[in-house]
Homo-oligomer: A and B are copies of this chain.
Amino acid sequence: MDAAEFRRRGKEMVDLIADYLENIEQRPVYPDVEPGYLRSLIPEEAPEEPDTYEDVVKDIERVIMPGVTHWHSPYFYAYFPTANSFPAMLADMLSGAIGCIGFSWAASPACTELETVMMDWLGKMLKLPEDFIAGTHGQGGGVIQGTASEATLVALLAARSRAVRMILASDPQRPETGITSKLVAYSSDQAHCSVERAGMIAGVRMKKIPTEQSDKYAVQGETLRRMIQEDKAAGLIPFYFCATLGTTPSCAFDHITELGPICNAEKIWMHIDAAYAGSSFICPEFRPLLNGIEFADSFNFNPHKWLLVNFDCSTMWVRKRSDLIGAFKMDPLYLKHDHQDSVCSTNPNPLIPLCLTLSPPLPQTTSQHWQIPLGRRFRSLKMWFVFRMYGLKGLQDYIRKHVELAKEFESLVRADQRFEISADVVLGLVCFRLKGSNEVNETLLKRINNGRKIHLVPCQLSGQFVLRFAVCARTTESRHIREAWGGRLIIMAETERLE
């Protein structure tokens, strides 16, 4: 396919995409296929000679669409949202065409630099402390990761490295493996499974801090403090705490204003995972949920969830760039470039020209030291297009609308005596259940999903099987919420049949 044919096929694809998204409501939100459905629909091997493009496009409806869970249908209420907007798609097309691999400043200066500035834009939207903004005289800054799982792991690795360095500084003879085996990290028992997995990857102990329904599933300072004291008494070295703002099961918020000072006093790295909820902090009325950020060493959330920037775009800030870089740095000759050492990263001289102190994840360092993969797409283009085409106000309106829709669903549930709300509705997630056994709720969920008109997933809260209703799609409106509840008789009808 040459450029001329791409002009034609690309425009057809633009129409196909617009058609798909405009008519997505007509498709069953959850596919009616059995595992293995696809293999028999296509050949067992790649063709020797090229297929025609017409055949490929025909197969989108024949092979792919029957097996797609339509995350952008306004009837999709499962998991958490994943972002999808037209400006982000346009930017991603451009990113694919430029196709640079931004592992260092020289590999494509625009890629590294736009990322640093976009991270500052977003950091300012969130009113992050100046320490986290690269374009100041602070020592921090932001970087785009692929997913929150990676950010959690990167923070854990930086924390591990910092802890080992601190201990070796006071006891240089101590063997490093002996230190690692004594390290202990903490997170809520409500934290995402990827936090526990980060501990497995890094080979360190990860303890879950128990939470209670009566505390709204938030980690309590007293509990953390007690665990730290017990572990220290047992000869362990507490070094990392991952706080969650907006947990996956119920969107609970750890009290970081209370937990942060404990971590600071104990020299424990506090990472904040706000994967879903983070986007809401651009609204002044939700920003108080982030109070306590001033105690954090690192912070992460996913604009690719709720801020209209298509996957992948998980934004992470650190208070001290050198903590991250120290954990990863490698400089083989084939990645060296002229500007690598043009500025000393620890140079505190405010008179150095702005353009030299403030750029990239720093010109003299490179993004490769900030993340697990070496290669990276030009992902900041998506942020730039979305922030400019929506403006801060447009983004705030979008968040507010989803929260309103969730509140609307909550009031529909509350108005029905058979149901109960299982956790505070703070943002766009409603946790609810039929008053009664877990079995009856499991049956209800199964029937709802088998109906394929809406799609939900469950969670477990205090031993109870709970249904999660997350407002997800960009195009969800009040009528969809009402239809989900009763208009199309979906939840209501299935409930009737249970009784």
Contact = CB atoms under 8 A, between A and B. Distances in A.
Contact of A35 (B327, B328, B336, B356): B356
A88 B13 CA distance: 12
A388 interface: yes
How many of chain A's residues touch chain B, expressed as a range?
Answer: 35 or more
A63 B38 CA distance: 44
Given A107-B69, A110-B68, A177-B180, A50 B84 contact: no
Given A97-B17, A372-B201, A121 B45 contact: yes
Nearest to A466: B333
Contacts of A147: 373-375
Interface in A120-165: 120-122, 124-125, 135, 146-150, 153, 157, 160
Contact of A375 (B38, B203, B311): B311
Contacts of A90: 6, 9-10, 13
A21 interface: yes
Interface stretch (A98-106, A256-264, A405-413, A477-485): A98-106
Given A203-B204, A311-B377, A372-B372, 11 more contacts: A17-B97, A39-B135, A46-B124, A49-B393, A55-B388, A56-B388, A146-B146, A192-B374, A201-B201, A249-B334, A312-B373
Contacts of A360: 35
Contacts of A374: 147-149, 192-194
A244 interface: no
Given A86-B9, A101-B71, A17 B113 contact: no
Contacts of A266: none
Interface stretch (A219-227, A420-428, A453-461): A453-461
Interface string A338-375: 11001100000000011111111001100000001111
Contact of A201 (B89, B157, B192, B392): B157
Contacts of A9: 86, 90
A442 to B, nearest CB: 11
